[in-house]
Amino acid sequence: MKIEDILSICDHTLLLQTATWPEIKDLCDDAMKYHTASVCIPPCYVKQAADYMQGRIKVCTVIGFPNGNCSTATKVFETKDAIENGADEIDMVINVGWLKAKQYDLVLDEIKQIKQACGYHVLKVIIETCLLTEEEKIKMCEIVTESGADYIKTSTGFSTAGATFDDVALFAKNVGPDVKIKAAGGISSIEDAEKFMELGASRLGTSRIVKIVKSK
């Protein structure tokens, strides 16, 4: 597999609390140089990044991040604000507590409201697989499919673990035909990236692939 093909599906990511604009700018420069799918950055930097890159690379940001348990109204406001500031793609975190309590209607309604706020922009739904049972993961595949969201995403990268091969394979078996898969968190090698792609991931959330390429 060509490295260019892997880079083209990477959301080049920097979401650390300590991230500064110079670091985000460097991330954007790398994304433009290596032609990644997007940069995935904190909401406070979306406008600067969008103005800086002028459409050359898509800007992705996170909503309800990383815990997912703010109110739906807050998440909808965050989404609208991000899009007004120039975000092209939205990665939202579900309310895991609602899922655990089997309040599936609330989980579904929230995703639908955020998708409506997104309009034609891409919506990825982070379900935080490391906190879920297999039954809950399968249920979220059903909910994301019903919601009209574009992607189901494994992880924030800020919980107890990131993407696993088993979870991506499980997604591939259980999501509808219109739902794509994003693996994120802990993708540390070219071999990992290739394996996730073979299993069905069409987007990867990682900063390490660009770092590997830069080091060669």
pLDDT band at 33 (very low <50, low <70, confident <90, very high): very high
Query: Looking at residue 61, what is its pLDDT?
Result: 98
Encoding tokens for residue 66?
């990383």
Tokens 């990236």: give the residue: 193
pLDDT for 104 beyond 90: yes
The pLDDT value recorded for residue 125 is 99
> Six-digit token pair at 160?
């107890």
Token pair 């939205």 in the structure block, residue: 90
Dihedral (CA of 191, 154, 115, 200) sign: positive
User: Distances from the Cα of 50 to the Cαs of 57, 119, 127, 130, in angstroms?
Assistant: 9, 18, 27, 32
SS3 93: strand
- How would residue 184 be classed by pLDDT, with cut points 50, 70 and 90? very high
Q: What is the mean pLDDT of the chain?
A: 98
Q: How confident is the model at residue 216 (pLDDT cuts 50, 70, 90)?
A: confident
Nearest-angstrom CA–CA distance, 106 and 201: 27
Which residues are designated catalytic?
91, 153, 182
pTM here? 0.97
Handedness of CA 140, 100, 96, 137 (dihedral sign): negative
Domains, in order of start, for the chain: 3-215 (3.20.20.70)
Q: How many Å apart are CA 114 and CA 134, to the nearest integer? A: 25
| Residue 18 pLDDT | 98
Report the percent of the chain where pLDDT is more than 90: 99
Retrieve residue 40's tokens. 């995935």
Given the structure tokens 């930097």, which residue do they identify? 45
DSSP state of 41: E
80: pLDDT confidence band, cut at 50, 70 and 90? Answer: very high
CA gap 202, 111 in Å, rounded: 21
Q: How many residues does the structure list for the chain?
A: 216
Q: Alpha-carbon distance 186 to 160, whole Å?
A: 11
The residue-averaged pLDDT of 83-93 equals 98
**Does position 197 have pLDDT exceeding 90, yes or no?**
yes
